[in-house]
Amino acid sequence: MIPMKIKDDVFSLRAAHWDRKLFDELVPLPGGTTYNSYLVKGSDKTALIDTVYPLKTSGFIDALKKTGISKLDYIVANHAEQDHSGSIPAVLELFPDAKVVTNATCRRLICEMLPVDAGAFIEVKDGDRISLGNKTLRFLLTPWVHWPDTMVTYLEEDRIAFTCDFLGAHLATSDLFVIDEARLETAAKRYYAEIMMPYRPHSRKALQRLAGLELDCIAPGHGPVHARPAFIMDLYREWTSDTVKPEVVIAYVSMYESTAIMVEYLMDRLAEKGLSVRPFNVVEADSGDLAMALVDASTVVFGTPAVLAGPHPSIAYVAYLVNVLVPKTRFAAVIGSFGWGGQVPEAIKKMMPQLKATFFEPVMARGVGRQDTLAALDRLADDIARANFPDAKAEKAVPAPVPAIG
Ligand code: FEO
C-alpha cells in the first residue's frame, strides 16, 4: 500500500482487498474491493478523510507514516460503518491530538461502535467549513447514502468531492483513476444495486447536491477515483430515475422441470413481443447479477414450485431481497407448479410489502402443465407486453406453436 498523488498535497491511501469474495458475508465481490482513505495537506493543517477496514489497519498505518507527516490535525469521518471508520482508533493512537470531524449522527454511531472518546470530536453541520490554510474542506450532509450518518466532504480549491460509499464501486485495481470505464460501469452498477438502490430517493437528492459543485474529481470510499465525474453522475442519474426499461427478470427454481418448462415457454412468448428477458435459476445465480438486472427492469416474474404449501425457500429468499432492495419494478407475476396444494402467489406477494408493483394474474399448474397452462402463459405474456408497451397497437401476437407437454 503506497500513497498515490491525486493533486498537489492530496493523496490517496488505498487498501486493496483483492481476494475478498463476500462483503457482509452476503454481497459477492467478483472484482474484490478497496477501502479508500485520503490525505489533504494544507499550508497550516493536515486532514485525513476516512480510514480503512479494520483488517487492513496495519498496512494503512505504515502507508500513513510513509507520507512523512509529523502531525495530523483532523480525521474526517464521512460515515461510521467500520470499513471506513474501523482504523480511527489506530490513527488516534499515532496522532493523539487529532480531532475526529463529523456530523452528530456519525459521532454518536462511532462513539457507540468503537473505542473513541466522545471528547475527540469536532461536530459539523451541513455547509460548515474547516480551513487547512490554503485548502478548505466543506461538509455536505447526505443522509442515507448508505446510513443515516453519511456525508460528503468537498475540497473547494481542488474541486474534489470525497463521497465515501456514494458513487463507489467494489473493484480492486492498481489504477488510481478510472481507466476502463466499461469495467467500472459494471462494478458500479452492481454496487449501486446492492448498496444504494434501497435508498434511491436519497441517492437522487445527494446527486443533485453534487451537481451544484464544480468538480474535477470524485474520490469515493471504494474503487478508483473518477477524473471524469460526469461519467458516474450520468449513470446514477439514469439508475435513480423513475424510468424503467422493457425488461423482464425471471427468478425461478424448478424441482421436476415443470416450472422450468413454463419459464422457457413464457420467455419465448415475451421475446416474440419485443421484451428483453433475463432468466435466473436462483439456486446457482449470483445475487449481485440478479440485483443488477433489477435496477432497470420494468417487470419481475417469480417461478417456483410449491414446497410445504409455500414458495421454494430459494424463491422466498429472492422475494426477501426484492423487498429490501426496493427496485423500481412496476409489474410482477408468479408462475409455477404444485402437487397437492398451496397458496404460493399470495405468500410471495405478502413477502414484498415494499414493492410497489402491479401483480398480474398468476399461472400455477398442478404438476406438469397442460394446454390450459400454456394458454394462461400466453395471457400473462399479453398482460406483460400491454403493460410495457401501452401505446402499441392492440394487434394480436402471432400465435405461438404449442409444444406437447403433459
Ligand atoms: Fe463502505 Fe457503508 O460502508
Q: Is 146 in the pocket of ligand 1 (CB under 6 A)?
A: yes
CA 306 to ligand 1 center in whole angstroms? 37
CA 119 to ligand 1 center in whole angstroms? 24
Given this model, what pLDDT does residue 393 score?
64
Rg (CA), the chain: 25
Ordered DSSP codes for 103-123: -HHHHHHHHHHSS--GGGEEE
CA 386 to ligand 1 center in whole angstroms? 40
Given this model, what pLDDT does residue 404 score?
44
Instruction: For residue 206, give the amino acid letter.
Output: A
Given this model, what pLDDT does residue 89 score?
97
Given this model, what pLDDT does residue 370 score?
86
Given this model, what pLDDT does residue 342 score?
78
Write the pLDDT tens digit of every residue in 381-394. 999 999 999 988 64
CA distance 223 to 165: 10
Q: What is the value of pTM for the model shown?
A: 0.93
Write the pLDDT tens digit of every residue in 211-269. 999 999 999 999 999 999 999 999 999 999 999 999 999 999 999 999 999 999 999 99
Q: Which of 389, 361, 373 lies closest to 337 in space, CA to CA? A: 373
Using the atom order of ligand 1, give the atom closest to the CA of residue 168: 1
CA 20 to ligand 1 center in whole angstroms? 15
Beta strands in 73-208, from DSSP E residues, in sequence order: 74-76, 99-102, 121-123, 129-131, 136-141, 151-155, 160-164
What is the grid cell recorded at 351? 413477502
Query: Residues in the chain with pLDDT < 50?
Result: 394-406
Q: Is 247 in the pocket of ligand 1 (CB under 6 A)?
A: no
Q: Is 194 in the pocket of ligand 1 (CB under 6 A)?
A: no
Q: Is 81 in the pocket of ligand 1 (CB under 6 A)?
A: yes
Strand partners, 33: 17
Residues 6+ apart with CB under 8 A from 274: 246, 385, 389
Using the atom order of ligand 1, give the atom closest to the CA of residue 150: 2
Q: Is 149 in the pocket of ligand 1 (CB under 6 A)?
A: no
Using the atom order of ligand 1, give the atom closest to the CA of residue 221: 1
Given this model, what pLDDT does residue 394 score?
46
